[in-house]
Structure 1
Amino acid sequence: MAEHRTMQRSALLDAARTLLSEGGTEALTFPALAERTGLARSSVYEYFRSRAAVVEELCTVDFPVWAAEIETAMEQTAAPEGKVEAYVRRQLALVGDQRHRAVVAISASELDAGAREKIRAAHGGLIAMIVEALEALGHEQPRLAAMLLQGLVDAAVRRIELGVAEDPRAIADAAVEMVLRGVRG
């Protein structure tokens, strides 16, 4: 029985990711989740009490996986500049990943305080990953620099997701160049 519930919960989260990446937060409804999973709408409520609860669960499950991928990329190099570059490039490479599209859709929506706090905490963990590299580069305010660096990454993500004329690689190259020049002072 527990295994069945775990599988159903996983199917609901997969359906939520798909709905978010295809149609944004407006698409994430309990009727849509029920339709995608073959469950009755009332059964969806047995797993999640609200749309915000689905969002919180996605953050709890997906953000650590995404962060681990970024951290792994950063561990491939010892040089602080290489860590900064890996931090930027890996995040931008993840733009096409369904988990990332779901997180972006989630963060663009109106959420309750609990869901917003989970997202803030997850982003804080992401920013903490780069602070040490910025310290090693001799930045006087590495935490502030990390937050600003993440702002540039977020802007590059939005640019890639718009599907504008630039190739995503060109956007990534420009972001890396801007970040590295900026953190070197």
Structure 2
Amino acid sequence: MAEHRTMQRAALLDAARSLLSEGGTEALTFPALAERTGLARSSVYEYFRSRAAVVEELCAVDFPVWAAEVEDAMRRADTPQAKIEAYVRQQLALVGDRRHRAVVAISAGELDAAAREKIRAAHGGLVSLVVDALRALGHQQPRLTAVLLQGVVDAAVRRLELGAAEDPGPITEATVAMALRGVRL
């Protein structure tokens, strides 16, 4: 029974990712989740009490995976600058991933305070990954610099998301160049 519930919950989250990446937050409805998973609408409420609860669960499940991919890319880099480059490149490489598209859709939507706080906390964890590399480069305020660096990455992400027909290569290269020149003392 517990295994069945776990599988159903995973199916609902997968359906939520698809709905969010295809149609944004407006597409994430309980009737749509029920249709995608073959469950009765009332059954969806047995797993999640609200859309915000679905969003919170997606954040809890997907952000750590995304952050682990960024952290793994950084771990393979030798120098602080290479770690910063990996931090930027890996995030931009994840833009096409369905989990990322869902997170972007979530971030753009109207969410309750608890869901927004989970997103903020997850982003804070992502920013924390680059603080040590910035400290190693001699930054006196590495946390502030990391937040600003993430702002550059976020701007590039928005550009990539909005310019689907645009070649992502030049955007990535420009972002990496800006990040590396911007973090040098």
Q: CA deviation at 1:166?
A: 4.0
Alignment map for 1:27-46 (pairs within 5 Å): 27-46=27-46
| Other-structure match for 2:85 | 85
Distance in 1 (alpha carbons) for counterparts of 2:145 and 2:39: 47
| Other-structure match for 1:15 | 15
Normalising by structure 1, we get a TM-score of 0.98
Percent of counterpart pairs with the same letter? Answer: 80
Deviates more, 1:163-172 or 1:57-66: 163-172
Name the Cα RMSD after superposition: 0.9
Distance in 2 (alpha carbons) for counterparts of 1:5 and 1:84: 40
Distance in 2 (alpha carbons) for counterparts of 1:80 and 1:47: 43
Normalising by structure 2, we get a TM-score of 0.98
Distance in 2 (alpha carbons) for counterparts of 1:165 and 1:20: 20
Q: CA deviation at 1:78?
A: 2.0
Q: CA deviation at 1:113?
A: 1.1
| Other-structure match for 2:183 | 183
User: Structure 1: where are the runs of 5+ without partners?
Assistant: none
**Alpha-carbon spacing, 1:165–1:43, altered in 2? closer, same or farther (3 Å):** closer
Q: CA deviation at 1:164?
A: 5.7
Q: CA deviation at 1:52?
A: 0.1
Partner letter of residue 162 of structure 2? L
Distance in 1 (alpha carbons) for counterparts of 2:165 and 2:40: 43
| Other-structure match for 1:111 | 111
Tell me, yes or no, if structure 1 residue 6 matches structure 2 residue 6.
Answer: yes
Distance in 1 (alpha carbons) for counterparts of 2:54 and 2:31: 13
User: Structure 2: where are the runs of 5+ without partners?
Assistant: none
